[in-house]
């Protein structure tokens, strides 16, 4: 397992996970880092994300802002839309504090920014899988294939994963699978109408703790033509990223960590987006601060968590965010309180304040790490 490689070259706190970039070793042991810095990017050939388990609002005003009129002509993945090659801004070293700019997507092939595809946002599917009509009719169920990204399997080994059809990882899983062989994937029958899945990726301890896999609770992973992409990271990677997010501090072991990233409907990273955790009891964002034990919001820049950015950037194709010391709402296997991850941003120049694009219920465990996708 790459024991001869020099270890951490750089941390990439991807939208939901942290990637360890490895320096190339000898030809028999090297993990070749791609041109994107080792991160995985969607390459589903222009497929449209199906509706997932979250609540996607028609864009609503936030913080007193006006509700933008959604422009016609939004193009879904089915359209084969490609990023414009002309009149697009090349991302540079722009400020990442203060009032958020209008959100922009990044074409990771050309490094050009363009207007995001928001065509899949709006409406709600309630977070419940549709009835399994195929099973009722006695027809065989289709199979779904799950792979973990962005680390190569040679690095993270053979962890076990529990699969849930719906927005929760509590209770009995529908399936339990262990990675190993099959090109780093696992498969399982998929109920008809399932638009997304939730996962519990179990911790995997290794003789060399540098390669131990972090336990993760994952929500809202879209099913795209029978394919699902889960996320995996190493415990050492996440520990260092949390340290960076706290400016050198340590997290409260009794609280939770929440991670997400900003993507448009075609899977492009989006700059200018913001996240917040909303308390269902008050319908207000959970307060954040800089004191010991305070919930701390951190946006990545150049693929590393920062203490200063106040919205996403897409340098290094990241657009990721984490909330350290998040409040807990799961105790003894039961959910005790509602918390929603909110995704918002300015869609148009006419928006005087960010608008809400979507929300997702999340489960937050003491000392646990949760990853949630709000995009479709």
Rounded Cα distance, 147 and 189, in Å = 15
Binned at pLDDT 50, 70 and 90, residue 94 comes out as confident
Residue 87 pLDDT > 80:
no
Residue 29 falls within a domain, yes or no? no
Binned at pLDDT 50, 70 and 90, residue 283 comes out as very high
Binned at pLDDT 50, 70 and 90, residue 85 comes out as very low
Residue 221 pLDDT > 80:
yes
Residue 21 falls within a domain, yes or no? no
Residue 171 pLDDT > 60:
yes
The pTM for the full model equals 0.76
Q: What is the pLDDT of residues 253-282, one digit of tens each?
A: 999 999 998 989 888 899 999 999 999 999
Residue 50 pLDDT > 50:
no
Rounded-to-5 percentages of helix, strand, coil across the chain: 10, 30, 60
Residue 110 pLDDT > 70:
yes
Own/partner pairs for 28-36, CB < 8 Å, 24+ apart? 29/2, 29/3, 29/4, 29/5, 30/5, 31/2, 31/5, 31/152, 31/154, 31/155, 36/108, 36/316, 36/317
Residue 17 falls within a domain, yes or no? no
Rounded Cα distance, 302 and 337, in Å = 35
Looking at mean pLDDT, say which of 9-18, 27-36, 132-141, 153-162 comes out highest: 153-162
Q: What is the pLDDT of residues 184-208, one digit of tens each?
A: 899 999 998 888 999 999 999 999 9
Residue 241 falls within a domain, yes or no? yes
Residue 40 falls within a domain, yes or no? no
223, 190 Cβ separation under 8 angstroms:
yes
160, 232 Cβ separation under 8 angstroms:
no
- The encoded tokens of residue 310 equal 């106040």
Q: What is the pLDDT of residues 331-340, one digit of tens each?
A: 999 999 999 9
> What's the domain count of the chain?
1
pLDDT of res. 376: 65
pLDDT of res. 150: 80
55, 124 Cβ separation under 8 angstroms:
yes
Q: What is the pLDDT of residues 8-35, one digit of tens each?
A: 333 344 433 333 333 233 333 333 333 3
Binned at pLDDT 50, 70 and 90, residue 54 comes out as low
- Domain holding 295, by residue range, is 48-376
Higher pLDDT, 364 or 48: 364
Binned at pLDDT 50, 70 and 90, residue 79 comes out as very low
Binned at pLDDT 50, 70 and 90, residue 69 comes out as very low
Q: ∠ CA(63), CA(359), CA(92), 5° rounding?
A: 70
SS3 74: coil
Mean predicted confidence (pLDDT) in 131-146: 61
Q: For all residues of the chain together, what is the average pLDDT?
A: 77
Residue 103 falls within a domain, yes or no? yes
Residue 170 pLDDT > 90:
yes
322 forms beta bridges with 259, 298
How far the first Cα of the chain sits from its last, in Å, is 34
Dihedral over Cα of 368, 261, 324, 235: its sign? positive
Rounded Cα distance, 251 and 63, in Å = 30
pLDDT of res. 161: 97
pLDDT of res. 288: 97
Residue 7 falls within a domain, yes or no? no
pLDDT of res. 103: 97
303, 13 Cβ separation under 8 angstroms:
yes
pLDDT of res. 246: 96
Rounded Cα distance, 13 and 4, in Å = 24
Look at the block and give the residue holding tokens 């490094």.
111
Radius of gyration of the chain (CA): 20
Residue 31 falls within a domain, yes or no? no
pLDDT of res. 13: 42
Residue 250 pLDDT > 60:
yes
């Amino acid at each position: 397992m790459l024991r001869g490689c020099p270890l951490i070259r750089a941390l990439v706190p991807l939208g939901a996970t942290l990637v360890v970039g490895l320096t190339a070793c000898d030809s028999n042991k090297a993990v070749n880092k791609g041109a994107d810095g080792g991160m995985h990017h969607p390459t589903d050939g222009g497929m449209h994300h199906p509706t997932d388990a979250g609540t996607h609002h028609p864009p609503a005003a936030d913080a007193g802002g006006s509700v933008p009129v959604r422009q016609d002509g939004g193009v879904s993945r089915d359209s084969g839309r490609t990023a414009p090659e002309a009149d697009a801004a090349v991302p540079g070293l722009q400020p990442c504090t203060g009032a958020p700019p209008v959100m922009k997507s990044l074409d990771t092939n050309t490094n050009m920014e363009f207007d995001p595809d928001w065509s899949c946002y709006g409406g709600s599917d309630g977070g419940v899988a549709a009835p399994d009509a195929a099973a009722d009719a006695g027809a065989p169920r289709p199979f779904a294939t799950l792979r973990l990204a962005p680390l190569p399997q040679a690095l993270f080994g053979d962890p076990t994963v529990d699969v849930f059809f719906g927005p929760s990882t509590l209770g009995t899983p529908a399936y339990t699978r262990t990675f190993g062989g099959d090109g780093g994937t696992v498969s399982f029958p998929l109920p008809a109408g399932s638009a997304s899945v939730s996962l519990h990726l179990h911790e995997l301890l290794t003789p060399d703790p540098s390669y131990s896999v972090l336990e993760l609770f994952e929500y809202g992973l879209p099913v795209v033509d029978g394919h699902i992409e889960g996320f995996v990271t190493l415990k050492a990677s996440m520990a260092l990223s949390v340290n960076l997010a706290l400016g050198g501090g340590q997290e409260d072991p009794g609280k939770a960590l929440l991670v997400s990233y900003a993507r448009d409907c075609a899977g492009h990273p989006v700059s200018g987006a913001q996240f917040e955790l909303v308390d269902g009891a008050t319908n207000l964002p959970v307060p954040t601060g800089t004191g010991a034990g305070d919930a701390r919001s951190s946006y990545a820049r150049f693929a590393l968590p920062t203490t200063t950015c106040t919205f996403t950037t897409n340098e290094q194709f990241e657009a990721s965010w984490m909330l350290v010391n998040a409040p807990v709402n799961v105790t003894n296997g039961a959910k005790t309180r509602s918390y929603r991850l909110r995704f918002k941003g300015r869609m148009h120049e006419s928006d005087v304040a960010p608008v809400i694009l979507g929300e997702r219920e999340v489960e937050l465990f003491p000392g646990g790490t949760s990853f949630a996708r709000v995009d479709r």
